[in-house]
Structure 1
Amino acid sequence: MQYIDNIIFLIALIVGFGLFFKSTKEIYRNIKLGKKIDRSDQSAVRWKTMGKVALGQSKMVKRPIAGFLHILVYVGFVIINVELIEIIIDGIFGTHRILIDVFGASFYAVFTSILEIFALLVLIAVVLFFIRRNFYGVKRLNMKELFGWPKNDANWILIIEFALMLAFFTMNGADYFTDTQKFSSNFPISKHLFPFFENLGESTLHLIEKSAWWFHFIGILFFMNYLYYSKHLHIILAFPNTWYSNLKPKGQFNNLDSVTKEIRLMMDPNADPYAAAPEVDPNEVPEKFGASDIFDLNQVQLLNAYSCTECGRCTAVCPANITGKKLSPRKIMMDTRDRIEEVGKNINKNGKFVDDGKKLLDDHIQREELWACTTCNACVEACPVLIDPLSIIVEMRRFLVMEQSSAPSELNVMMANVENNAAPWAYNQADRLNWAKEN
């Protein structure tokens, strides 16, 4: 019976990490539903970009207050969870603060003091984030696409992080007052947070320390598995997302190979227009132009959707949204992720995807949203993790125009003018220089 705690701990550890890897496997499967795309070029640049943007948080600080607070939470939370190594060793082997014997008392005191300082910074940042999100009235954090679950999700994450840091301090404070001589220099913050611990008996302090230790450990496992249902997947996916980001100049469209081939044939003076066409398999499904569902998007675009932080920086700078149009680049990414999850649940239920009569287009993203976009790339520039909402908008527009011949009347007029007059204006080519004659 003396090993019952160790056995329970080991079971919790295996179950927690097992569920996490199951969720990770599902996300990977869902991303693979998209079309393959080769983003393996310029690996040195990609590693540099990932280090600078995902690890270095370089784009976060463009909004200095939010950026600074985010760095505190990000760096602090990562450093605090270094202690998870010690918790796992102690939990499996039944030891208590094993690293004090590994590091030595002096170095361990420095180590735990640093952890406490960062934990306090995380605690402060989390409280400020909560106030800012719920009471300060930041417009991009109170838009209609965040009503309901997205807003609750953001708040739950802040509450969980607050609770984990509080458990960390409680655990340390109880240890300090249990044996102040041993831990006198280890806990510079927690020893001042719980002065009433001094009046408690040793058995009570041991109970408090063990309860806080278990709460902290189970809380970390819960947080880790909650990520699958949360926008906070970006904690993990921001790294591959920035590595696979588009390195081409913003605004450079990708050309469809099938269309490029036809145009080259048309412009080749040596091509025989009456040459026999290559034999076509009657069972082969013609390649679709553009995208109407997630299966038509590429895998990086689906990774983008999972990596979205829902911070709204893209929507805050979108000229269409600012002028009252329906478009919100953040909503485009959220809707894409919702559709991916909808398809994923379908696969989980049926073993494969069974047509559910729904599409990303119209069922999740409306045409009015797509045509409101000015393709200015402001959303792409603003994203702190290099997500590209514009690429999804362009692919869906491409489907509407090339597959359904569906476009706003203004665009149809312009395209007719280009076809007939080789210019977007309704003037005959012969009349182009009339303006010069008048002068």
Structure 2
Amino acid sequence: MSFLVNIFFAIILTLGFGYFAINVKKLVRNINMGRDVNRSDNSSARWNNMLMVALGQSKMVKRPVAGFMHILIYVGFVIINLELLEIIIDGLFGTHRVFAFLGGFYSFLIGSFEILAVLVLVAVVVFWARRNVLKLGRFANPDLNGKPRKDANYILYFEIVLMSLFLLMNAADFWLQQAGVEHYIQAGSFPISHFISPVFNGLNEGTVVMLERTFWWMHIVGILIFLNYLYYSKHLHILLAFPNTYYADLNAKGKIDNLESVTKEVQLMMDPNADPFAAPAPGADEAPAKFGASDVMDLNWVQLLNAYTCTECGRCTSSCPANQTGKKLSPRKIMMDTRDRLEEVGRNLDANKGVFVPDNKSLLNDYITQEELWACTSCNACVEECPVNISPLSIIMDMRRYLVMEQSAAPQSLNAMMTNIENNGAPWQYNQMDRLNWKSE
């Protein structure tokens, strides 16, 4: 019977990790739909960026209360799940607390896990209250209506259930250890579940064994469900924050990239000796088929990685001056819309055996409106505030570039400015002969 249980556990484990691997493959495919961009430079700065921002949570603590609570959940959840290795070995080979041979260190680990589990529960309850009772502004924003708001709560409920199952599993195990039941060896330290175990008093040993096994199975299956839910959730950032911070743009935040093909065209116009009909030099980049971006395939792969990494925390939107003054722009929505469109394109590929069938939709207009794009002041507040170095501004600028260079669809005030620059050499409407008169005043 025990052998059959081990086989069943192996099947459940294979299905859980197998489905996760399928989704990871799909995720990589979707990100790779983006244009190529080189982010292999300055590896030391990139590693430092990842260690400080993703692992060290350095930008989270700029808001101390939320930052501290997030670190508790992050550290607690990750460390507690180190026990997953022991659970997998026990499940596959029918052992029980296989690492008990570590002795005092094992007791220290289990005791630490229990204390962290309680701290995680406290932090999760605080986060739940901030979202659903206090209803902080950035969590009450309309761009979270529907699935995003539910998703955030689902994750909190998941964590409450998983931590509770962990403590109940340990409490039943401790009770069975104290009762001297065969197979339940004396191992571990239980500073929290020690106080929970009396709830099993009055039950017979067989019933408590059944409860312990139930909690154990629910805990491991819950972890596998949580793992596979990540792909469909904003909590994919648990995994993607690390590559996202590594591949983040290291340039100064005020620096906006220029299109090389346009730069070369300007240089050609300014060089009186240049031959406009000369063939391009070997290896020179050709002009892009499209200037800017109107759909997700026009963005680069780092921008698509950004979209999947978005935590939907709303720090970007709460710091956006355009949003604060009532404009339609929400940087968080820009990232959520990009991810939603990318997922839609991915489903199109899945349905058509890897070939994208035009669906008469695009990121521009169908998801993100021109009003949103032109409301942006390009101040970089959203980029500065993001705890995982996402850049909504880069997507906004690429889509603006498309509107201006491909559709001549800039606002009237911007068109007037560009006309003045073309005709007068300055943004203002006056004679070119007068453009330097201000220097004498």
Question: CA-to-partner distance for each residue in 1:261-281, whole Å, 9 max, x for gaps?
Answer: 1111111132134x45569xx
* Counterpart selection for 1:119 from 117, 120, 124: 117
The 5-angstrom pairing of residues 334-373 of structure 1 reads 334-351=336-353, 352-373=355-376
**Distance (whole Å) between structure 1 residues aligned to residue 385 and residue 111 of structure 2:** 37
Q: Please say if 1:27 is aligned against 2:10.
A: no
Tell whether the 8 Å contact from 1:175 to 1:183 is kept in structure 2 after alignment: no
**143, 153, 164: which is aligned to 2:162?**
164
Superposed counterparts of 1:274-353, under 5 Å: 275=277, 287-351=289-353, 352-353=355-356
How far 1:213 moved relative to its partner?
Answer: 0.2
Which of 201, 205, 214 is the aligned partner of 2:204? Answer: 201
Return 371-380 or 196-205, whichever deviates more: 196-205
TM-score, with length taken from structure 1? 0.95
- 1:422-437 superposed matches below 5 A: 422-432=425-435
Matched residue, 1:2: 2
Moved over 2 A (4+): 180-185, 275-279, 429-437
Measured after TM superposition, the shift of residue 93 of structure 1 is 0.3
The residue aligned with 2:108 is 110
Tell me how far apart the structure 2 counterparts of residues 277 and 110 of structure 1 sit (CA, whole Å).
Answer: 71
CA distance in 1, matches of 2:97, 2:278: 79
The Cα of 1:244 is off from its aligned counterpart by: 0.2
Check whether the contact 2:234–2:308 (CA below 8 A) recurs between aligned residues: yes
Q: Identity across aligned pairs (percent)?
A: 61
Residue-by-residue CA offset, 1:88-137 (whole Å, 9 max, x unaligned): 00000001111113x12x22211110111111111111111111111112
Distance in 2 of aligned mates of 1:286 and 1:177: 69
TM-score (norm 2): 0.95
- Helix, strand or coil for the counterpart of 1:403? helix
How large is the RMSD of aligned CA atoms in angstroms?
1.7
Q: Take 1:185 and 1:354, find their aligned partners in 2: how far apart are those partners? A: 57
Aligned counterparts of 1:263 and 1:224: Cα–Cα separation in 2: 51
The reply to whether residue 212 of structure 1 matches residue 210 of structure 2 is no
Contact 2:426 2:435 (C-alpha < 8 Å) held by counterparts? no
* Separation of aligned partners in 2, 1:185 and 1:65: 33
Instruction: Quote the Cα distance in structure 2 between the aligned partners of 1:48 and 1:225.
Output: 30
Q: Specify the code of the residue in structure 2 equivalent to 1:422.
A: G
The amino acid that maps onto 2:349 is I
Kept after mapping to 1: 8 A contact 2:9/2:92: yes
Q: Which residue of 2 aligns with 1:51?
A: 51
- 1:241 equivalent to 2:239? Answer no
2:141 & 2:198 partners in 1: Cα distance? 43
Of 397, 403, 416 in structure 1, the residue corresponding to residue 400 of structure 2 is: 397
Where do 5+ consecutive residues of structure 2 fail to align? Answer: none
Deviation per residue, 1:391-428 (Å, 9 max, x gap):
00000000000000011000011111111111111121
Change (3 A) 1:187 1:358: same
Alignment of 1:76-155 (within 5 A): 76-101=76-101, 103-104=102-103, 106-155=104-153
Offset at residue 184 of structure 1 (A): 8.2
Unmatched 5+ stretches in structure 1:
none
Cα distance between partner residues in 1 of 2:228 and 2:24 = 9
Aligned partners of 1:92, 1:30: CA distance in 2, in Å? 34
